[in-house]
Structure 1
Amino acid sequence: HKADPKCPNRRPYHTLLTAQGTIYNQWQARIMYFHWQKQRAADGPCSDMAAFTRLCPSKDGESDGVEKYIPTIFVAQLTPAVLAKYGHFGVLNRPHSVMEFFRNPELRARVTEEYVMLAETDHVLMKPLPNLASEGVAAAHAFGYMHAGPHHAKVIDLVNPQGDCTWRDLQPVGPSPLIIKLTDLEKLTPRWLNYSYELRADPMPARLIQDWVLEMWGYSIAAASLGVRHKIIDGFQIEPNAYARTSDDFNKKYYIFHYTYGIEYRLDGQPQGFNTIGEWSMDKRHYGGAYPPPDLDPPPEGANPSSRWLHNAWNSAIQAAGATWPDTNAMGTIGWRRESISSSEISRSKLAKAVRGTEWLWSGIKSLIFNDAGVLKTPWGEGKWGIAPKPKGLPWCAPPNECLFVDFSGAAHHVWFDADLSKFTSVRVGDGEIVNGTRIRH
């Protein structure tokens, strides 16, 4: 980019959003791009936020339809056979897609800016983001789990035996969020990709480092080995949960809201607890098979400002999409917490009393048994069952009528029964898959 006399201090960069073509990544990418556009417009004509491209690895480089809403380039994703060699670690598609971008002159020519930002789908910009990098120094966020120590020396030696760097040279950074000179990223990407492969292929690194961040370590070691340094930006991003003591103006102190953690509340406004699903729950993981629905119920009274902000960020992006947002059978922010029905609750429910102890075929497969205390026996392991109050999209389940939830194998289902309790119909939360059940034992 040539200097613009109207914007003499402008240092434009191109945002590259690394995103796979899954439903899970698609809806996040659309929310992310909506807020990028919003902050780009707020920044005015001299914004450093020059352009945006979604870099999407997909099967054989095929389009996924989301390019209608987000500027996108597609590259062929890693094959299942390749991923199987590395523990089916899909995150390897990130350095792989960046490598494919640089290998293709036509794609490489798409970015004319001197700097590039690598972003993730679960990033939401809260204010305009200037170019925080400088000549020879990238801008990055510090992660608490990325600090190297002497015990990591053998991990570094594994991938870089020539000794280009030591553990002291490593910075606690990953490849996103990152603003970096494009030529520096091009220089280090081959090592980032190769180091990530090697760290996943050998069992030793996973004994010293959480295995889900090994690709980030691949980036950090690659950068250090080539002398690419990073300026740590304290307010680059925030990752608040229900316990975060965020202030009303927290969004003015950080650039990015990274919703990597679920936000879980009781309906009385108190945090639900750690490693559990809340009565009010906002977690990206709920929407692996379907887009989140519009008009998500707001957080309960007493929720922290960051929870309210993210709820509004999701809702505003979904509402702005209008009819282009796909229909969904997924629940909103209420209904994900499923407590197994207790014996006393069974005694108060006509339906629960009637099905307790009964055995069923699930799509012809034997067998599903509704045991006491909400224990569900299935061919795929133990699950749980209980009353489903007002499940989304099923008005015939509203009181005084009753329907059940049956959850197993990581999937949630809503079930309603024929009047004579000889058959049931199940709809899977999220993708709406229908399964029929037939009673085989009373």
Structure 2
Amino acid sequence: MAAAIVGTVAVVLLLLYPAWSSAAGEGQRLHTLFSVECGDYFDWQSVGLLHSLRKARQPGGVTRLLSCTEDQLSSYRGLGIGHTLEVPSFSRHPRTGDWYPAINKPAGVVHWLKHSPEADNVDWVVILDADQIVRGPIIPWELGAEKGKPFAAYYGYLKGCDNILAQLHTAHPEFCDKVGGILAIHIDDLRALAPLWLSKTEEVRQDKSHWSTNITGDIYGMGWISEMYGYSFGAAEAGLRHKINDDIMIYPGYIPRPGIEPLILHYGLPFKVGNWSFTVVHWLNHVQTDAEFIVILDADMIMRGPITPWEYGAKRGHPVSTPYEYLIGCDNILAKIHTRNPSACDKVGGVIIMHIDDLRRFALLWLHKSEEVRADKAHYATNITGDIYGSGWISEMYGYSFAAAEINLRHIIRKDIMIYPGYVPLPGVKYKVFHYGLRFGVGNWSFDKADWRNTDVVNTCWVKFPEPPDPATVMKEDPDARERDLLSIECGRALNKALYLHHKRRNCPRLDTIHIKSNKIDQISTAKKFERVTHESSQSSNRANIGSMGAVRKKIVERAIATVSPVHRSRRFTRSSRMWIIAVWVLSIIVFLMVISMFFTDRRRSVSRHRASRSLKPHV
């Protein structure tokens, strides 16, 4: 009997729970926040998150906290993506100069609390990441959040909560919760937490001596998750203990628990289904490859032979590359600012041969370091970077060297792989790569890729670069200069051969067909010259014929007409001269006859007058 009563009460409680939950939420004002930066990368994530929030019918307003510098904002095109609050960028810290974009999240929340009227008209706040998809409404009170007890997802890898890191950065390490991903918090708690969240992030970020993986759990050991620790340590300082849930969020690719429907998909890690895969970051996880080594080249290179890792001694932990001695930033303050291991900074670039395992742990760091150096405008100067333009153009090269130094990848540097055309080669070396990034020339001929930046040589049939000289004409006594010029000629010829084969694969019309058509057009224009008499009028007729042709063949026809044989031109000139001579003779005869006619007419008139005067004299 007692068991029946207990069961009945339990059923009634279960039936009434939704009503109680709804009643608890009546009058509760809710707002959702997420933080992004200016750029296409965050724009498409914003579109995805906002769409999912609308589809899930998330109650309350949604604000995108947009962190941009003034320069970025002036050219940014995504302001119309949802309701947006512009917040000052902390990517480059205004006080320390540290490059750490993740700090924009707590900095943006602090700015929203101070400057947005929405913060004065809300009871609960949900904070998400941009790389998330919401599958249902996120209601704090339905998740069990209370004032003083925010709700969050479990982040088990934050092992710094259990070791010296927490002991150093919070007075209450016992309150440190391993949480993140999603936060549902009362506005009063958020006001107390936000400044601490920001200051603790700055504090952990500056504690470089405790960035190592065995302390933080950060696989890169670079302090990238300082913001997450900033949150946990800030919450501990504020005395907030979380309602922690390990089922609300899942990374796509992970196996869900039976019977659990996660509310949030967090696609921050690579995942795949069959042959399809997705990652928010880089190629390595987009492409299925069973290669052991990867060769990375630049587009402005010409291959002369195969590049194999075993030929140059590449191995795991020791990639092969070519020397870039002008990267002087490896020896000065630039390396000291951007890497903890400046002594490991190798001046390399151009050709890279790297083991796939090294590349997987290195690539994301390469990206981050490139962004970091690019943002460091205070150190763009030529005497610091070696960049002759002093504009940060080689930030990516430093990003590579500094990232490699961070994970202690020491390079095997080979001078016998690549050469710039125009440079004197090493004796006896058979280079595998031409890197034509700089101007080079032989005699009066030269080539600079920058001169062809706005010329479409790929889609215009049979167009090519100026032909380099014949190698047989290189007769220099200095063997070094001779080898240098021969390599330059080889590079120029290789580019033109590549263009020729490209046009051939595109099924461009045959050159002899074009010449025949050009000759026919030339004959028509020549006939019109005879009709026009003057050389100038015939030229304008010729230009009119060319103008009526398609734009693609126009240049070819002009070139063909320009190469008409001198004999043919002399014949046309001779015929034109004869016409002029005949015309002059005819005109001379006509003038002569007119003069004679006038003379005889005057003679007859004078004779007539004389006779008339004689006939009048007898009457006088």
Shorter-chain TM-score range? 0.5 to 0.7
1:97 matched residue in structure 2: 108
Partners of 1:206 and 1:421 in 2: how far apart? 56
Q: Which structure 2 segments of 5+ residues have no match?
A: 1-21, 310-319, 325-348, 354-395, 401-456, 466-489, 495-620
- Residue 22 (str. 1) matches residue 61 (str. 2): no
2:121 matched residue in structure 1: 112
- Residue 237 (str. 1) matches residue 249 (str. 2): yes
1:186 matched residue in structure 2: 191
1:159 to 151, 169, 175: 169
Cα offset, 1:79, TM superposition: 5.7
Match of 2:281, SS state, is: helix
2:451 matched residue in structure 1: none
One-letter code of the match for 2:130?
T
Render the CA deviation track for 1:33-56: whole Å, top value 9, x for unaligned: 00100001xxxxxx6x21111111
- Residue 58 (str. 1) matches residue 54 (str. 2): no
1:253 to 261, 267, 270: 261
One-letter code of the match for 1:233?
N
Cα offset, 1:84, TM superposition: 7.0
Partners of 1:62 and 1:255 in 2: how far apart? 33
One-letter code of the match for 1:30?
V
Q: 1:58 to 1:420 in 2, by over 3 A?
A: same
2:351 to 382, 404, 411: 382
- Residue 168 (str. 1) matches residue 171 (str. 2): no
Contact residue 66 and residue 84 of structure 2 kept, 8 A: yes
One-letter code of the match for 1:171?
D
Q: 1:370 to 1:108 in 2, by over 3 A?
A: farther
1:39 matched residue in structure 2: 56
Cα offset, 1:226, TM superposition: 1.1
Match of 2:225, SS state, is: helix
Partners of 1:14 and 1:178 in 2: how far apart? 12
Contact residue 18 and residue 54 of structure 1 kept, 8 A: yes
2:146 matched residue in structure 1: 134
Equivalent positions of 1:345-424 (< 5 A) are 367-369=301-303, 371-372=305-306, 380-383=349-352
Render the CA deviation track for 1:210-235: whole Å, top value 9, x for unaligned: 22212111110110111111101232
One-letter code of the match for 1:230?
H
Q: 1:74 to 1:280 in 2, by over 3 A?
A: same
One-letter code of the match for 1:13?
L
1:281 matched residue in structure 2: 277
Partners of 2:305 and 2:153 in 1: how far apart? 49
Partners of 1:338 and 1:374 in 2: how far apart? 17
Q: 1:121 to 1:139 in 2, by over 3 A?
A: same
2:85 to 57, 63, 73: 73
Q: 1:117 to 1:80 in 2, by over 3 A?
A: same
One-letter code of the match for 1:142?
Y
Partners of 2:114 and 2:262 in 1: how far apart? 34
Q: 1:372 to 1:140 in 2, by over 3 A?
A: same
Percent pairwise identity: 23
- Residue 124 (str. 1) matches residue 133 (str. 2): yes
Partners of 1:141 and 1:112 in 2: how far apart? 26
With the length of structure 1 as denominator, give the TM-score of the two structures.
Answer: 0.58
Cα offset, 1:65, TM superposition: 3.6
Match of 1:177, SS state, is: strand
Contact residue 35 and residue 124 of structure 1 kept, 8 A: yes
Partners of 1:280 and 1:108 in 2: how far apart? 45
1:435 matched residue in structure 2: none
Partners of 1:222 and 1:30 in 2: how far apart? 30
Cα offset, 1:240, TM superposition: 2.9
1:222 matched residue in structure 2: 234
One-letter code of the match for 2:68?
S
Contact residue 91 and residue 104 of structure 2 kept, 8 A: no
Partners of 2:211 and 2:119 in 1: how far apart? 37
* Greater radius of gyration (CA): 2
Cα offset, 1:121, TM superposition: 0.7
Structure that is richer in strand per residue: 1
Contact residue 152 and residue 245 of structure 2 kept, 8 A: yes
Partners of 2:190 and 2:298 in 1: how far apart? 55
Q: 1:382 to 1:144 in 2, by over 3 A?
A: farther
Cα offset, 1:102, TM superposition: 2.2
One-letter code of the match for 2:106?
P
Match of 1:19, SS state, is: strand
One-letter code of the match for 2:31?
H
Cα offset, 1:286, TM superposition: 4.1
Q: 1:225 to 1:36 in 2, by over 3 A?
A: same
One-letter code of the match for 1:382?
V
Contact residue 67 and residue 89 of structure 2 kept, 8 A: yes
Structure that is richer in helix per residue: 2
- Higher mean Cα deviation, 141-150 or 372-381? 372-381
Match of 1:103, SS state, is: helix
One-letter code of the match for 2:205?
R
Contact residue 302 and residue 491 of structure 2 kept, 8 A: no
1:195 to 184, 194, 200: 200
Contact residue 39 and residue 127 of structure 1 kept, 8 A: yes
Partners of 2:200 and 2:244 in 1: how far apart? 23
Cα offset, 1:12, TM superposition: 3.9
Q: Which structure 1 segments of 5+ residues have no match?
A: 1-6, 41-46, 270-278, 288-332, 343-359, 385-407, 424-437
Render the CA deviation track for 1:90-128: whole Å, top value 9, x for unaligned: 101111111222232xx1445622010111111101122
Contact residue 123 and residue 258 of structure 1 kept, 8 A: yes
Render the CA deviation track for 1:160-205: whole Å, top value 9, x for unaligned: 4xx3x1x22211113x310001121111111111111111112122
Contact residue 368 and residue 377 of structure 1 kept, 8 A: no
Match of 1:144, SS state, is: coil
Q: 1:362 to 1:85 in 2, by over 3 A?
A: same
Q: 1:111 to 1:62 in 2, by over 3 A?
A: farther
Match of 2:154, SS state, is: coil
Q: 1:20 to 1:340 in 2, by over 3 A?
A: same
Contact residue 56 and residue 73 of structure 1 kept, 8 A: yes
- Higher mean Cα deviation, 11-20 or 55-64? 55-64
With the length of structure 2 as denominator, give the TM-score of the two structures.
Answer: 0.42
CA RMSD of aligned residues (A): 4.0
